[in-house]
A and B are shown apart, each in its own frame.
Chain A
Amino acid sequence: MKDVLNKTEEIVKKAKALGADEVVANTTFGMYRQVRFSNNQVDITLAWDDYVTDVALAWKKRVVATQIRNFHEVDARIKKLLELAKVSKENPMFGGFAKGRFRYQRSKADEKLRDLENPTDYVFEAISGAEKEAGSQIESGGILFTKFEDVYLVSSEGPVGVDNRSAIELSIRVFSQREASGHGVECSSTLKDFKPARAGMKAGEIARLAKNPKAGDEGVYDVIFDPLIFGSSLAVWASMASAFDVMVQRSIFVNKLGQKVAPKIVTLKDNPAAYSLASRVFDDEGVPARENIFIDKGMLKTYLHNTSTAKIFKTETTGNAGLVFPTPWNVEMNPGDMSKEELFEEVKRGLYLTNTWYTRFQNYAKGDFSTIPRDGIFLVEKGEIKRSLKDIRLSDNALSLLNNIAGISKERQHVHWWGEADPSSLSPYVLIKNVHITKSK
Chain B
Amino acid sequence: MEEDIVDYALECAKSKGVEYAEVRAQSQLQERLMLRNGILEAYVSAVDSGFCVRILADGGIGFASTNKWAMEEAKKIADLAFRYAKVANRKDKITFAEEKGVETKWIVGQKEKVEDISPEEKISKFVEINKSLSSCGVNVAATMSSCRMDLTSKYFANSEGSRISSFVPRIAAFIFITVAEQGKTEQASEQFGCSGGWEVFREWNIPEEMIHDAKVLRDVIKKGKTVKPGIMDLICGPEVTGIAAHESCGHPMEADRILGREMSQAGRSFIFKGGPFWIGTRIGSDVVTIVDDPAIEHSYGYYAYDDEGVKARRRYLYKNGIINEFLHNRETAAKLGTRSNASSRSVNYDREAIVRMANTFVVPGEMTEEELIEDVKHGVYMKSFTEWNIDDKRFNQRYVGREAYLIENGELKNPVARPVIETTTLKFWTAADAVSKKVEFDAATCGKGDPSQGMPVYTGGPCIRLRGVYIK
Chain A residues close to B by CB (< 8 Å): 34, 36, 38-39, 41-52, 56, 62-67, 69-70, 73, 77, 80-81, 84-85, 87-93, 118, 120, 139-143, 171-173, 175, 178-179, 183, 244, 247-250, 323-325, 357-366, 368-372, 374, 391, 393, 395, 418-419, 438-441
Residues of B within 8 A of A64 (CB): 42-45
Q: Is B161 an interface residue (CB 8 A)?
A: no
Cβ of A249 and Cβ of B142 under 8 Å apart? yes
A-B contact pairs, 28 of them (CB 8 A): A38-B260, A41-B92, A43-B261, A45-B63, A46-B65, A64-B44, A65-B43, A65-B44, A65-B45, A66-B44, A70-B69, A73-B47, A80-B45, A84-B45, A87-B120, A91-B39, A91-B40, A139-B263, A141-B263, A325-B41, A357-B392, A358-B391, A362-B387, A363-B186, A363-B386, A370-B387, A374-B267, A440-B397
Could you tell me if B187 and A363 are in contact, using CB atoms closer than 8 angstroms?
yes
For the complex of A and B, the 5 pairs showing the least CB-CB separation, nearest first, are A45-B84, A358-B389, A141-B263, A173-B264, A141-B264
Taking a contact as CB atoms under 8 Å apart, the answer to whether A143 and B186 are in contact is: no
Which of B281-289, B361-369, B421-429 lies at the interface with chain A?
A: B421-429
Tell me whether B182 is interfacial, beta carbon within 8 Å. Answer: no
Q: Are B452 and A419 in contact (CB under 8 A)?
A: yes
Inter-subunit contact A41/B119 (CB<8 Å): no
Contact indicator A374/B391 (Cβ below 8 Å): yes
Sorting the interface of chain B by its residue count into under 10, 10 to 19, 20 to 34 or 35 or more gives: 35 or more
Among A38, A73, A325, point to the contact of B264 (Cβ < 8 A): A38
Within the complex, the shortest CB–CB distance from B215 to chain A, in Å, comes to 17
Contacts A87-B118, A92-B39 given: A358-B186 contact, CB under 8 Å?
Answer: no
- A89 to B63, Cβ gap below 8 A? no
**Is B144 interfacial (CB 8 A cutoff)?**
yes
Contacts A143-B265, A361-B387 given; does A440 touch B45 at CB 8 Å:
no
CB–CB A69/B447 < 8 A: no
In the complex the two chains form, what is the Cα distance from A413 to B48 in whole Å?
Answer: 37
Is the pair A69, B422 in contact by a Cβ cutoff of 8 Å?
A: no
Q: Nearest Cβ distance between residue A183 and chain B, in whole angstroms?
A: 8
**Residue of B whose beta carbon sits closest to that of A47:** B64
- Give Cα distance in the complex from A36 to B390, angstroms: 24
- Shortest distance from the beta carbon of A240 to any chain B beta carbon, whole Å: 13
Most buried by B among A47, A91, A93, A141: A47
A87 to chain B, nearest CB (A): 5
Q: How far is the CA of A204 from the CA of B461 in the complex (A)?
A: 42
Q: What chain A residues lie within 8 Å of B85 (beta carbons)?
A: 45
Assembled-state Cα–Cα distance A39/B332 (Å): 14
| Beta-carbon contact of B37 and A143 below 8 Å | no
Q: Inside 8 A of A44's CB, which chain B residues have their CB?
A: 60-63, 84, 88, 352
Contacts of A42 in B (CB 8 A): 60, 87-90
Shortest C-beta distance, B53 to chain A (Å), equals: 10
B389 engages A372 (CB within 8 Å): yes
Are the CB atoms of B350 and A50 closer together than 8 Å?
yes
Chain A's closest residue to B450 (CB) is A418
**Contact A66–B46 (Cβ < 8 Å):** yes
Q: Which of A70, A368, A372, A418 contacts B391 (CB 8 A)?
A: A372
Decide yes or no whether B470 CB sits under 8 A from chain A: yes
Are the CB atoms of A47 and B260 closer together than 8 Å? no
The reply to whether B36 and A247 form a contact with Cβ atoms under 8 Å apart is yes
Specify which chain A residues have a CB less than 8 angstroms from the CB of B450 in the assembled complex: 34, 36, 143, 418
Q: What mask results when residues 428 to 472 of chain B are scored 1 for a CB within 8 Å of chain A, else 0? A: 000000000000000000010011100000000000000000100
Q: Does B8 contact A (CB under 8 A)?
A: no
Do B67 and A50 have beta carbons less than 8 Å apart?
yes
Q: Which residues in B have their C-beta under 8 angstroms from that of A87?
A: 118-120
Are B390 and A139 neighbours in the complex by a CB distance under 8 Å?
no
Instruction: Identify which of A41, A85, A178 contacts B88 (C-beta below 8 A).
Output: A41
Interface centre among B265, B267, B387, by most chain A C-beta atoms within 10 angstroms, is B265
> Contact at B388–A360, with CB atoms within 8 Å?
yes
Give the chain B neighbours of A38 by CB distance below 8 A. 260-264
A41, A359, A439: the one within 8 Å of B91 (CB): A41
